[in-house]
Amino acid sequence: MKLTFLGAAGEVTGSSYLIETDTVRFLVDCGMFQGGREADAKNRTAFKYDPKTIDFVLLTHAHIDHSGLLPRLSAWGFRGPVYCTTATADLLQVMLKDSAYIQEKEVEWHNKNRHNNDRRNNPPSQEFAPLYTVTQAEALLKQLQRVDYNTEITPHPSIRCCFRDAGHILGSAIIELWVKKDGGYKKIVFSGDLGQPGHPIVRDPAIIRHADVLLIESTYGNRLHRSMPDTLDELAFAINDTLITKGGNVVIPAFTVGRTQDLLFLLIDLYRQGKLGEMTIYVDSPMAQAATEITLKHIALLDKESTEALQWMNSNAQKPRIHFVQDIEESMRLNHIKHGIVIISASGMCDAGRIKHHLKYNLDRPECSILITGFQAERTLGRRLVDGAKQVKIFGQDIQVKAAIYTIGGLSAHADQANLLKWLSHFEKMPEKIFVVHGELNNSKALAEAIQEKLHWKASIPDYLGIITF
């Protein structure tokens, strides 16, 4: 049996793992790389295998860094099933088509600029093409196979697997995988993205007690999150200081699936407690509205606190005021509102979508605030803001950064080092092999060292495109 690390090895994005035996060949995740031109180049050369030879895909969750290359895989000849939870399948109906739409629009913009440059007698530049189209995304969606949590499936005679709740976003899963070997089975566990216990909306991650081989994420493997009470105090201060004291706007880049719903729940709850005053919240993302509706559809998966907050809002005149923005014209009108609003918009790392327009119109205003509420990968616009850039380029224009930048770290949907170690402590014995993945190199190293120091287990960090043979 061979395991190949096709992404998320020494970096956060591009999660994908190829498992091969004498009788079957399949993927766990098929994610998009994110973060600048280098990521785009990796996405275009990501398949180090013939997609036609892949029997099936197991998908941990809907985030694009785990699912975003599935339509390209299908377009290049993959015809097998993609197994995922029911909630993940519902989210993918929205997310993958949106991903394709954004690519088509950005390619249209790039090619328009290319033609303008060519008309100025510059050497002809390369024509851009999207990684995949909306039509190709729709074709892939027909290959989804829905799986219930805690129900064992057999995607191949030599493979058994079970999806457990990862507590990261709606529908996210830890995958337990049993591969037939010499009359028995070798068990591989893919943690996927593990959630932080006590996080809004979702339930806590399921406990796993045994694995022969374990792949564990390390997005925040080098740090501890702020406590939720401290985080909520900072969130309330940032919003009140901006809206009331300074008279500006609050702009929040947020992943449309998971983080946007978390923020809405928290803002409702802070308002209910009297910690936030009257405010108008604009959720500027058609996909976020669809994802929120899907979240409400799966109310049985929500935690108790979220259910109670929704019930309170429904019985209190739908306050605070929340507007979901659909069309481009309404989105553009938000940029003419100079004070008093909270804008939640995608993308979460500020590299695409409508958030770039809102940053363009608010970043250079000292009375405004930008609230960073999620992980920002290297080379993204969001990362440059977190790292203290005084000037950034948006749509080819230099924008001065005068707005206050808040990093609200305690809202992360990823477990911190302490909770990753706590999750590992439930294993009854050390796995034969532990691979630390899905983290920038320093973060992965920190978690591997903590595993050695606290649990006395050995863990290693795989190389990108590294191959392990069992």
pLDDT 10s per residue in the chain (470 long)? 999 999 999 999 999 999 999 999 999 999 999 877 788 889 999 899 999 999 999 999 999 999 999 999 999 999 999 999 999 999 999 999 989 988 898 888 777 776 666 555 555 455 578 999 999 999 999 999 999 999 999 999 999 999 999 999 999 999 999 999 888 899 999 999 999 998 888 999 999 999 999 999 999 999 999 999 999 999 999 999 999 999 999 999 998 888 899 999 899 889 989 999 889 999 998 888 898 899 989 988 888 888 887 778 777 766 788 999 989 999 999 999 999 999 999 888 898 889 999 999 999 999 999 999 988 888 899 999 999 999 999 998 999 999 999 999 788 889 999 999 999 999 999 999 999 999 999 999 999 999 999 999 999 999 999 999 98
Domain 2-223+413-469 of CATH type 3.60.15.10: yes
**Chain-centroid distance, C-alpha 118:** 37
Nearest to 436 by CA among 408, 466, 406, 409: 466
Q: Per the structure block, which two tokens stand in for 286?
A: 């058609």
Contacts of 81 (CB under 8 A, 6+ apart): 56, 57, 143, 144, 145, 155
Contact 191/216 with Cβ under 8 angstroms?
A: yes
Q: Which residues pair with 407 in a beta bridge?
A: 372
- What is residue 76's predicted lDDT score, i.e. its pLDDT? 97
Going from N- to C-terminal start, the domains of the chain cover 2-223+413-469, 228-411
- What is residue 174's predicted lDDT score, i.e. its pLDDT? 98
Which run of H or of E encompasses 395? none
- What is residue 183's predicted lDDT score, i.e. its pLDDT? 80
Query: Pairing relation of β-strands 16-20 and 2-5?
Result: antiparallel
Backbone angles phi, psi at 394, to 5 degrees: -130, 125
- What is residue 119's predicted lDDT score, i.e. its pLDDT? 57
Span 228-411 CATH architecture: 3-Layer(aba) Sandwich (3.40)
Q: How many CB atoms lie within 10 A of CB 346?
A: 27
Nearest to 35 by CA among 64, 72, 62: 64
Q: How many CB atoms lie within 10 A of CB 224?
A: 12
- What is residue 107's predicted lDDT score, i.e. its pLDDT? 84
- What is residue 182's predicted lDDT score, i.e. its pLDDT? 81
Through-space distance between the first and last CA atoms of the chain, rounded to whole angstroms? 5
Nearest to 208 by CA among 422, 442, 432: 422
CA distance 370 to 359: 8
Contact 239/395 with Cβ under 8 angstroms?
A: no
- What is residue 379's predicted lDDT score, i.e. its pLDDT? 85
